[in-house]
Amino acid sequence: MIRGCSRAKTGRTGFLFFCQMVQKGVEMDCRSFVFAFKACEQFLGVLEGNSVHCIVWKMGFVYTLLVQNGLVHFYGMRGCLGLARQVFDEISERDVVSWTSMIDGYSKHKWCDEAVKLFDSMLMYSDVKPNEVTMIAVLSSCSQKRDLRLGKTLHEYVKTRNVTRGLNLMNAILDMYVKCGCLDSAREIFDTMGVRDVFSSMVNGYAKNGELELARALFNEMPERNVVSWNAMIAGYSQNNQPDDISLVGVLSACSHGGLVAQGREYFQNMKRKYGMEPKKEHYACMIDLLVELDS
């Protein structure tokens, strides 16, 4: 039931089931605690997670790797990075989940230098090899730091160490090059991706770096692409190459900076008429900027 509630995104209910287990003295195993942490994570229940941690101590599961990994992930996601690191340092035999959970926690809360340092320690002082999820986490920190040299090193590591290059990892590499302003490398990655979800990173990359015509041209290609490929369906992907909210913010921003009033109005009107999307405040802000530029 706790696991089911977590999957249904009703974490608070899942936590209540865990409390009933404790009250009724139901025998627990490692997974009971892991699912309880996942439930607490969903409703930002730091105090509730601490109470689960106390029960872990009381019932003698505190040095079980599965539970320790669950604790690192929970504290890391909730921003309790000191507690996450304390549990991480107590793990005697860390696996790839241990390292990745800690690196990801640092990355998500913008402790980028710590994330990179921990990744270096993983490579130098352990026998554990990073996987796709690990690389996505450290690339996120690299993107936040705008560190192109490090980003290229990580990209080379992915290529030479045969790390599985799924869609999420390729998007992370693409995003890193975009944020570092290296658009040629970003487009090279983009063009070699067999499966894409949306083109938003590339559109925004061009717009933010002043390549307005390239942003518009790429945006205009999107509805003309194949919606679904059979290979993608077999692999479990769904490729719907329609513009999303972020893509439209990018192209409207490009029109605003380029003074392309007519094109900007057309894209804005097409949001509802052609793409069935309700404009949000970000889109209205772009249109205000565009019209202010026109008046000035």
pLDDT tens-digit profile of 258-285?
A: 677 888 888 888 888 887 888 898 889 8
Q: Are residues 182 and 267 in the same domain?
A: no
Q: Are residues 189 and 209 in the same domain?
A: no
Q: Are residues 149 and 179 in the same domain?
A: yes
Residue with the bigger pLDDT between 198 and 75: it is: 75
Q: Are residues 29 and 101 in the same domain?
A: no
Residue with the bigger pLDDT between 221 and 229: it is: 221
Residue 43 lies inside a defined structural domain of this protein: yes
Q: From residue 20, how far is each of 13, 36, 45 by CA, in Å?
A: 11, 12, 17
Cβ atoms of residues 21 and 32 within 8 Å: yes
pLDDT band at 242 (very low <50, low <70, confident <90, very high): low
The pLDDT value recorded for residue 173 is 93
Q: Which of 171, 193, 215 is the last residue of a domain?
A: 193
> Is the pTM value of this prediction over 0.95?
no
Q: Are residues 167 and 227 in the same domain?
A: no
Res. 156: pLDDT tops 70: yes
Res. 237: pLDDT tops 50: no
Q: Are residues 129 and 204 in the same domain?
A: no
Q: Are residues 118 and 207 in the same domain?
A: no
Residue 199 lies inside a defined structural domain of this protein: yes
Q: Are residues 203 and 284 in the same domain?
A: yes
Average confidence score pLDDT of the chain: 82
Residue 89 lies inside a defined structural domain of this protein: no
Dihedral sign from CA coordinates of 15, 88, 126, 167: positive
Three-state secondary structure string covering the chain? CHHHHHHCCCHHHHHHHHHHHHHCCCCCCHHHHHHHHHHHHHCCCHHHHHHHHHHHHHHCCCCCHHHHHHHHHHHHHCCCHHHHHHHHHHCCCCCHHHHHHHHHHHHHCCCHHHHHHHHHHHHHHCCCCCCHHHHHHHHHHHHHHCCHHHHHHHHHHHHHCCCCCCHHHHHHHHHHHHHCCCHHHHHHHHHHCCCCCCCHHHHHHHHHCCCHHHHHHHHHHHHHCCCCCHHHHHCCCCCCCCCCHHHHHHHHHHHHHHCCHHHHHHHHHHHHHCCCCCCCHHHHHHHHHHHHHHHC
Residue 221 lies inside a defined structural domain of this protein: yes
| Mean of pLDDT values over 228-233 | 23
In this structure, of 78-82, 157-161, 248-252, the range with the lowest mean pLDDT score is: 248-252
In this structure, of 33-47, 88-102, 146-160, 250-264, the range with the lowest mean pLDDT score is: 250-264
pLDDT more than 90, % of the chain: 36
Q: Are residues 235 and 273 in the same domain?
A: yes
The pLDDT value recorded for residue 187 is 85
Task: Give me the phi and psi of 276, to 5 degrees please.
Answer: 70, 30
Residue with the bigger pLDDT between 46 and 107: it is: 107
In this structure, of 8-12, 22-26, 243-247, the range with the lowest mean pLDDT score is: 243-247
The pLDDT value recorded for residue 198 is 52
Q: Which of 166, 193, 220 is the last residue of a domain?
A: 193
Q: What is the CATH number of the domain that holds 136?
A: 1.25.40.10
Task: Give me the phi and psi of 68, to 5 degrees please.
Answer: -60, -40
In the structure encoding, which two tokens stand for residue 219, read together?
Answer: 């945006």
Measured CA to CA, the distance from residue 124 to residue 19 in angstroms comes to: 42
b/e per residue 9-38 (b: at least 16 CB within 10 A): eebebbbebbeebbeeeeebebebbbbbbb
Highest mean pLDDT, choosing among 19-33, 51-65, 147-161, 251-265: 147-161
Question: In 3D, which of 220, 225, 217, 216 has the Cα closest to residue 256?
Answer: 216
Cβ atoms of residues 29 and 67 within 8 Å: no
pLDDT band at 231 (very low <50, low <70, confident <90, very high): very low
Res. 227: pLDDT tops 50: no
How many domains, in total, are found in the chain? Answer: 3
Q: Are residues 289 and 225 in the same domain?
A: yes
Measured CA to CA, the distance from residue 141 to residue 151 in angstroms comes to: 10
The pLDDT value recorded for residue 222 is 60
Residue 86 lies inside a defined structural domain of this protein: no
Q: Are residues 248 and 284 in the same domain?
A: yes
Q: What pLDDT digit, counting tens, does each position of 69-92 carry?
A: 999 999 999 999 999 999 999 999
The pLDDT value recorded for residue 224 is 39
Residue 253 lies inside a defined structural domain of this protein: yes
Query: Structural domain of residue 115, as residue ranges?
Result: 94-193
The pLDDT value recorded for residue 72 is 96
Residue with the bigger pLDDT between 35 and 194: it is: 35
Q: Which of 169, 193, 217 is the last residue of a domain?
A: 193
The pLDDT value recorded for residue 169 is 92
Residue 184 lies inside a defined structural domain of this protein: yes
Residue 87 lies inside a defined structural domain of this protein: no
Q: Are residues 200 and 182 in the same domain?
A: no
